[in-house]
Amino acid sequence: MFIRAYLRASTKEQDAKRAKSELIAFANDHGHKIAAFYIENESGAILVRPKLMQLIEDAHKGDVILVEQIDRLARLNQADWDTLKRMLSIVSKELPTSYMALQSESSTEFMSSVLQAINSMMLDMLAAIARKDYEDRRNRQMQGIARAKAEGKYSGRRKDTVKRQIIASLLKAGHSYSEIQGMAKCSRQLIADIVKDNKRLIDQDVKASVK
C-alpha cells in the first residue's frame, strides 16, 4: 500500500511540522508508513495547488491520499474532486469510515461495498460543506471590502515591508525562488511581485537619468 500524505499548511514551519507529525502517528496507529509527503505552504485563499497536482500526477490508481481534514481538498472543483476520488482512496483523520482504505482485508465483500458507498457519500458531503463554507467566507469578505470602499475606509492589505526588504536582498544576492521561499517563508507570488516592483523602479531611474 502506497500512502501519500497531503498537507496544506501556512508559511509557518511549525504548522507543517505539527500536521506532519500527527499524520505519521495516525498512519503508525493503523500499521502503515507514509511513503511521500506533499506540503502546500500557501494560504487557503490561494487557488493554485501545485503540490496537490503533483501528487495526482505521481500517484497510481489505488494509492491512498491521507489528509488531516477534507477541507484541505475543498478548493477542488467538482470535476477535479471526482477525478481524485476515482483514482485514489481518500483517508481523512476526521472521517472514521475512510479508515477502511488502510485495512488489508474487509470482513465480507458485501460489508466492504456498503462501507465504500457510505464513505463516498460522507466524503462528498464534507467536501461540499467545506466548499460552501469557503465561498460564504469569501462573499462576506468581499461585501465588507465593498462597504469599506464605499465609505472611503478601505486602504487594502498592508505590505510587510521588512519581509519584502529581506526578499529583495536575497534576490540581489542571487538566490533562487525556491531558496528564498525556504529562507523567507514566503510564496513564489510574493517573490515575483517584488521582482516586478524592483524592475519598475529600475526602469523609472533609467528614464529619469536620460532626461
Between the CA atoms of 76, 82, 83 and 84, what dihedral angle is there, to the nearest 10 degrees?
Answer: 60
Question: Three-state DSSP class for 4?
Answer: strand
10 in catalytic set: yes
Cβ–Cβ under 8 Å, residues 81 and 73: yes
Q: Three cell numbers at 177?
A: 525562488
Place of cell 460543506: 129
Question: Position 130: which residue type?
Answer: A
Q: Which of 10, 112, 120, 187 is catalytic?
A: 10
Partners of 166 in the beta sheet? none
Task: Fill in the amino acid letter for 128.
Answer: A
| Cβ atoms 67, 91 nearer than 8 A | yes
Question: 39: closest CA among 57, 51, 56?
Answer: 51
Between CA 40 and CA 34 the distance in angstroms is 17
Active site residues: 10
